[in-house]
Amino acid sequence: MILKHLRMCILVIVALATTTLKAQGASRQEVLDVEITISLKDVTLKQALQEIELVAKIKFVYSRSYLNLDDKVTIDVAGKKLGQLLEELLTPRSIKFAVHDSENFVVLTQAKMRSVIPIDEERTPVAIPAYAARISGKVTDVAGGSMAGVNVVEKGTTNGTSSDATGVYSLEVTDNAILIFSFIGFKSVEVSITGRTVIDVTMEEDQSVLDAVLVNAGYWKVNEREQTGSISRVTAEEIQRQPVGNPMAALIGRMPGVNVSQSSGMPGAPFTIQIRGRNSLRTDGNRPLYVVDGVPFPSNSVGVGYSVLANPSPLNSINPADIESIEILKDADATAIYGTRGANGVVLITTKKGGPGKTKLDLNFYTGIGKVGHFMDLLNTEQYLTMRREAHKNDGTPIAFSEYDLTEWDTTRYTDWQKVLIGGTSRVTSAQLSFSGGGENTHFQFGTGYYSEGSVFLGDFGDKKLSTHFSLSHQSPDKRFSILVQNSFVIDNNKLPLADLTARALMLPPVAPALYTEDGSINWQNGTWPMYSNPLIFDLLDYTINSENLISNVNLGYEIFRGLRVKANVGYNLLHSKDLNLAPIAANDPILGITTGYSDHTTGLTSTWIVEPQVEYVREIGRGTLTVLAGTTIQQTTRSAESIRADGYANDALLENLASAAQLFVLTSDFTDYRYNAVFGRVNYNLGGKYFFNVTGRRDGSSRFGPTKTFANFGAIGAAWIFSEQFFKNSSLLSFGKIRTSFGVTGNDQIADYGYLDSYSATVYPYQGKSGLVPTRLANPDYGWEKTLKAEAAMELGFFKDRLGLTAAYYRNESSNQLTGYNLPRITGFSSIQYNLPATLRNTGFELSIRSSNVQRGDITWTTSLNLTIPRNKLVSYPGIETSPNANQWEVGKPLTTSKKFHYVGVDTQTGLYQFEDLNGNGTGTDSPGDLVATGFVGQKYFGSITNSIQYRGLELNFMFQYVNQAGRKYSTVTTTFSTPGQMTNQPVQVLERWQQPGDDAAIQKFTMSSAASNAYLASSLSDNLVDNSSFVRLKNVSLSYGIPERFTKSWKVQSTRIFLQGQNLITFTDYIGMDPEPTIPNGLPPLRVLTAGVQVSI
Amino acid sequence: MKVKVFAIVVILLIVSLSSCREFLEIDTPKTQIVRHKVFENSEGARAAVFGILSQMSMGGFGGISSSVTVMGGLSSDEFLNHSTSQNNVTLYSNSLTPINNSVVTTNWNDMYLIVYEANSILEGCESSGGLSTNVRSQVVGEAKFIRAFSYFYLINLFGDVPLVTGTDYSINKSLSRAAVSDVYNQIEKDLKESQTLLLSDYSMSGDEKVEPNKWAATALLARAYLYQEKCADAESQSTLIINSNVFSLESNLNSVFLKNSKEAIWQLMPVSPGVNTNEGEIMIIASNPTRWSLSTSVSGGFEVNDKRSASWTGSFTISGKQYRYPFKYKVRLRNQPVTEYYMVLRFAEQYLIRAEARAMQNNLPGAVSDLNTIRTRAGLPLIDATGLTQTDVLGLVTKERRSELFAEFGHRWFDLKRSGTIDAVLGPLKADWQPKDALFPIPQAEITANPNIIQNP
């Protein structure tokens, strides 16, 4: 096997080519003028066409059922013009050819469209109707180019023709006939003649047609029709409809099997993305691999900052407007080629490239507002005071002086802290400019953009992004050599409060003091602000994350001889972040007499380079096509992070100047080196366009593993069969049918670097002026790879000429040899060690996606797409769990989300406190582990979305509902915000349903400040009482746009103008009590409701 | 238009690596050093000790708000709590459960981390050939002392605890709790070895008293003996210190807690930037109290004219309400010249240890004499031993310990437990007091991760 040996490391190929380049403006005729040399003997016409495709770098487009290509032919030409060859080859067989604009398509049609019925049925006698009129006209595409080879058929008959090379057609029809215009890759058009004799038609491309969609599978591209693996895709169009700053936000709900959620509504907040469930017991071992234009991209943040976004999303520094498509690879067939990094799926981000055609300038501008969509109903002043006084009555305790809400503050005040602290309006503005064009062989795209997002917080915060993107591709006229250079650079400036004010907004008593004194200065209220200071200090405590992201890559390709192509992908990514945390003197209550300020300066740097030389060989073998790919990856990623505390500033104005600090301390100084080397290969066999086999494999070596476990092998096989080609060829119901399956093994190396290294690191602070050393970790020199076995079976169906499409998939992933940070008791010195746990985790699931063209009539089209995922997660085995550190956490046979908790039995009718079942019978229900029991189901039962798209003339409406059925955590336990009702913090109005007197059967325990009650409250948050139904349906995205008709815009010299309204997170239907049913980081701001309006102009 | 392009030279694959395995062999990160290299030379071995001391100074032994001092002060009758944080409330109301207090958990974790680090030093020195005898003695002696010190607090806070004396996690992860007496045996053994290994001056640390030496080991050993009621041993160890002529009582109470004071046996150097001691920063009240203040049983427990009341406690009045606070450390604000170090072991305690040991052995005049040494410094009248019973003298010792050692390292909490008076004293003061509250519960995470640990009753 190719993968056996990794010793193919020296490979230097220098290709020297002298060639002639044609610069710009290839016309259709030029395609036909290409001189080709080919020699074939006794092959079918179909095979001959395939050979010509390879030689002439064109693609023939035809309908298999209309043309007979089984004739045997012999060709032996040298330097003959393509047009001439085709003339000789096709014309005698009554096949017409015409060159189409895009992608060098040559369209083949029958010269005499006597019948559009497949050949077999031709024998059936057809009554010749009496023709009443001759209709003629021209078929053009949206850009105005004439379309050759379009089938024009009179509806309900076999009468038809096709358009010629100039797009002109002519056909005799009966009275009141309806004409159907169809062309592969375009939406069919039906026109009623209604007395006319000239009918011109404009056809639109149809992205949904399987044949037209090329899917990026990473190391290769695959026609969606022919793909053997499971790959989901989101296109630029779908991203553009959403006013989002982070590309991950655009994925929410859009793909089956992919669960994306936003951890907070703050700009730059991280996203969690789980592809087909949680495969690793490690909570931080479930991130997918991100690859941007072939360059691996960090999945977690580069800095070590102290920001409220503990882990700001690095993907925030990718401009969504630069993205052409995002593909998510899910099953073994698609991911095994990524070996050790493929277990959690792969997210491929492809940026925009230029295409042939007119030079085009696109401008896109939108602006809008974002607000918190839903506030919690909290106690008002009267209710709050009732609660506090009742607590004292229940406890029989006097009011302590430090209970300022009852002693010091003005109890007639009422402040809606949610409104004050998080009720602001965030301004969103995006301005994008893209310039693209090129000739036949050279294409370019240049884009630049500005994006800014404000915040809803009290204070001046926000995220600003400036980006540029450049792509240049070129191929030599003989198509043997190609080069693609891509470059993106994003500068991001994110100014955030040091703490998420949401927690304060929820817990500050409604009687808490005013923010400002009467003279407009900060009101310190004698230092009585509860626990925290006046929230205004967060406007003074400046936290800024500045990041720069450079992604640069070069793709080279050269065809050494026919069928053999060498390629290389060379990429580099540099992600640099600088966090600045300023703590000025002014942010302190003056009563404390603090006279100095400090600042933290944190820098993070991640750089990755990757070199991937590859060889691809394509050859006809038997009746099929064999494609072989082999390559190697060499990658190095280094990360470094430094954090310096500068202290002792006497003047707030100098806080950013390190030189003015009295002392400097290095808080963190980290460095990691990760190296990765692999060989990989793929063998693909396409048998007659019906059967597809795909074998992939990879041998990986990674520096994250100790010397004995450095290497491991991964691989997968996939197969697909388009059975409709065989059995349903003529079915009017089933137009496409395919089954596919795959099986393989992938790995997971998402562990910390150096886990095998028994080392010491420096302490933050020196002792006696000398650096101290402490052990870094417990080392285990002997851990190995975590492996995930993936299996999938799927069926893809198309009905009614693909107007209704359905894909259903069942997957089963089993992850074993769990590479966990094995939890250890702290008496070992540390909390965990890298360790291979013999536990097995299984994720199974069912994914369904349906798309349907409901209406496709004249001016109106209406399409609906739906996706559904039913995920299941189960801890299948865990030998020795009883004596393991996870004994009281998980149960074999249950999902990981189901943990062991106390069993809540309600509020004691006599004491008014929460009660728990005393399972071990020792008098209390809160002994661990004695009283622990596995909770009911927690997690997602199913999720998905429904998207509708309606077009009427220039008007387009697109809206998506996201739905999630889940059992999540109760509002009171998601956050640490709320404490025992009765204490000095505000509460949701639901607490009013509390126990008041013996005999009450209440849902909430009595108002009290006693420690027994606070223990009961805490136990309840560790009990099955924490589970709550947090299902929801959300109108996630709405986009309404209108293309201003050309007749209005002609005078502006623009090609097209669209105006649009977009909305995100507009309406949420849920029974969940809390700000948002989606799990955010504790005390986090929910994702905002955003509404924008904008305009898009193409010149 | 056609353009001729000559010679497109393309280097497609540039990979020249003599061996892939070599490529994957990464160096130790620049910011880390492999263990065996740490102990190759004296700088590395000493740095490993400094590492622990730096952590101690920043952690629960360093007077921070989650320190042993605070835990002891809130749990006993020393502090009044003003904070609403769960950690402070549950300590103050003695309603700790295995899950409701992260301060207790953090201290458990940190103390065992210190044990691990000390064990790692001991193993590292054992296998190293590169250390001079002097350095090896110093480093090993300090590591053993540090291990003993950590265990002393573990058993006094939690009762029986697992006794970890090596770094092998596969053994350590399933250890059961060892009896307090077994742990004391290990403490005694370690401290006796430290006594022989460590110097009897402070020359190793540039005459600053910031590293434990022979006298630190002796002081802790005296205390360990006293806690076990091995009174003769306690007396002999404290006598060694009292007669050493290395230490003396500072006559000015305001000088006791200054850095390298005459009374200091071992101090932790402050390492947090710009801070004198954490204690000074958090104990001194300068606005409405958000943490705790001194209880009236401490502030009202001083005899009339006790100079300690004036020197070692402070008061702050706001909105007509007066709060008293410990004022042993006097520098609150940051970025002042560092004049104070955090006192861990001090000379005065040795008199009190000896007084108690002598009283227990019925040497009442000897005990009273030691008490009077302390009282003299506090400006109090001398006690006449005549006619006092053993119980009387022990009562005087307790009272004197309380006034002298308040808000220091949980002395009061431990004294209440040792003397068996804890239920009688705290029962009336704390609403939900139960005798079992004298022991902190083992953190739940610990039991979860190690089923061999059985919780306290």
Least confident of A50-54, A406-410, A761-765: A50-54
| Residue contact B29–A754, C-beta within 8 A | yes
Cβ–Cβ contact B101 with A under 8 A: no
Q: What percent of chain A has pLDDT over 90?
A: 32
pLDDT of A530 = 63
Taking CB atoms and an 8 Å cutoff, what residues of chain A touch B47?
770-773
Instruction: Assess whether pLDDT exceeds 90 at residue B261.
Output: yes
Mean pLDDT rounded to a whole number for chain A: 83
Mean pLDDT of A480-503: 90
Q: Which of B224, B267, B216, B207 is nearest to B241 (CA)?
A: B216
| Residue contact B2–A23, C-beta within 8 A | yes
Per-residue pLDDT reduced to its tens digit, A1002-1030: 989 999 988 788 888 888 888 888 888 88
The dihedral formed by the CA atoms of A261, A264, A267 and A268, expressed in degrees to the nearest 10: -60
- Mutate which of A22, A27, A528, A828 to test chain B, going by most B C-beta atoms within 10 A? A828
pLDDT of A425 = 94
- Residue B363 — very low, low, confident or very high, per pLDDT cuts 50/70/90? very high
pLDDT of A927 = 77
Per-residue pLDDT reduced to its tens digit, A692-726: 999 999 998 888 888 788 888 999 999 999 988 77
Which ipTM did the prediction report?
Answer: 0.90
| Residue contact B13–A613, C-beta within 8 A | yes
Mean pLDDT of A388-401: 88
Least confident of A171-175, A615-619, A742-746, B351-355: A171-175
- C-beta of residue A438 within 8 angstroms of C-beta of residue A354: yes
Mean pLDDT of B240-267: 96
- Residue B11 — very low, low, confident or very high, per pLDDT cuts 50/70/90? very low
**Burial category of B9 from C-beta neighbours within 10 Å (exposed 0-12, middle 13-18, buried 19 and up):** exposed
Mean pLDDT of B242-256: 95
- Alpha-carbon distance of A262 to A250, in angstroms, equals 11
Per-residue pLDDT reduced to its tens digit, B292-326: 999 988 888 899 999 999 999 999 998 788 999 99
Instruction: Assess whether pLDDT exceeds 60 at residue A603.
Output: yes
pLDDT of B67 = 94
| Residue contact A531–B289, C-beta within 8 A | no
Closest-CA distance, A767 to chain B, in angstroms, reads 6
Higher pLDDT, A112 or B434: B434
- Residue A383 — very low, low, confident or very high, per pLDDT cuts 50/70/90? very high
| Residue contact B98–A882, C-beta within 8 A | no
Instruction: Output the six-digit token pair for A142.
Output: 């949206």
Longest dimension (CA), chain B: 123
Instruction: Output the six-digit token pair for A1056.
Output: 């097209």
**Identity of the highest mean pLDDT range in A504-518, A824-838, B102-116:** B102-116
User: Could you say which of A594, A772, A882 has the minimum Cβ distance to residue B47?
Assistant: A772
- C-beta of residue B305 within 8 angstroms of C-beta of residue B378: no
- C-beta of residue A285 within 8 angstroms of C-beta of residue A751: yes
Radius of gyration of chain B (CA): 26
- Alpha-carbon distance of A675 to A681, in angstroms, equals 20
**Identity of the highest mean pLDDT range in A5-9, A279-283, A645-649:** A645-649
| Residue contact A476–B8, C-beta within 8 A | yes
Taking CB atoms and an 8 Å cutoff, what residues of chain B touch A405?
none
- C-beta of residue A950 within 8 angstroms of C-beta of residue A957: yes
A-proximal residues of B, 248-267, CB under 8 Å: none
| Residue contact B334–A824, C-beta within 8 A | no
Per-residue pLDDT reduced to its tens digit, A537-547: 888 888 898 98
Taking CB atoms and an 8 Å cutoff, what residues of chain B touch A670?
29, 31
- Residue A22 — very low, low, confident or very high, per pLDDT cuts 50/70/90? very low
Q: In degrees, to the nearest 5, what angle opens at C-alpha B56 toward C-alphas B54 and B62? A: 110
- Residue A100 — very low, low, confident or very high, per pLDDT cuts 50/70/90? low
A-proximal residues of B, 416-435, CB under 8 Å: 432
Mean pLDDT rounded to a whole number for chain B: 91
Instruction: Assess whether pLDDT exceeds 60 at residue A592.
Output: yes
Per-residue pLDDT reduced to its tens digit, A928-980: 777 888 888 888 899 999 999 999 888 999 999 999 999 887 877 655 567 78
Strand-pairing partners, residue B43, are none
- Residue A29 — very low, low, confident or very high, per pLDDT cuts 50/70/90? low
pLDDT of A101 = 53
pLDDT of A160 = 78
- C-beta of residue A348 within 8 angstroms of C-beta of residue A340: no
Mean pLDDT of A54-59: 74
Cβ–Cβ contact B133 with A under 8 A: no
| Residue contact A828–B27, C-beta within 8 A | no
Closest-CA distance, B416 to chain A, in angstroms, reads 23
Per-residue pLDDT reduced to its tens digit, A1045-1072: 777 766 777 778 889 999 999 999 999 8
pLDDT of A105 = 66
A-proximal residues of B, 345-404, CB under 8 Å: none
- Residue B19 — very low, low, confident or very high, per pLDDT cuts 50/70/90? very low
Per-residue pLDDT reduced to its tens digit, B38-50: 999 999 999 999 9
- C-beta of residue A280 within 8 angstroms of C-beta of residue A813: no
Taking CB atoms and an 8 Å cutoff, what residues of chain B touch A824?
169, 173, 449
pLDDT of A881 = 84
Strand order in the sheet with B32-34: A773-775, A759-762, B32-34
Q: Which of A346, A343, A334, A349 is nearest to A285 (CA)?
A: A343
- Mutate which of B335, B341, B344, B437 to test chain A, going by most A C-beta atoms within 10 A? B335
- Full-model pTM: 0.78
**Burial category of B332 from C-beta neighbours within 10 Å (exposed 0-12, middle 13-18, buried 19 and up):** buried
Higher pLDDT, A557 or A107: A557
Cβ–Cβ contact B454 with A under 8 A: no
pLDDT of A573 = 92
- Domains detected in chain B: 3-273+342-449 (1.25.40.390), 278-326 (no CATH)
- Alpha-carbon distance of B452 to B456, in angstroms, equals 13
- The DSSP secondary structure of A590-659, one letter per residue, reads GGG----EEEEEEEEEEEEEEEEEEEEEEEEETTEEEEEEEEEEEEEEEEEEEEEEEEEES-GGGTT-GG
Per-residue pLDDT reduced to its tens digit, A788-804: 999 999 999 999 888 89
Least confident of A120-134, A367-381, A892-906, B54-68: A120-134
pLDDT of A316 = 84
Instruction: Assess whether pLDDT exceeds 90 at residue B185.
Output: yes
pLDDT of A607 = 92
Residue listed under structure tokens 């493929």: A342
- Mutate which of B288, B292, B317, B323 to test chain A, going by most A C-beta atoms within 10 A? B288
| Residue contact A774–B51, C-beta within 8 A | yes
Instruction: Assess whether pLDDT exceeds 80 at residue B7.
Output: no
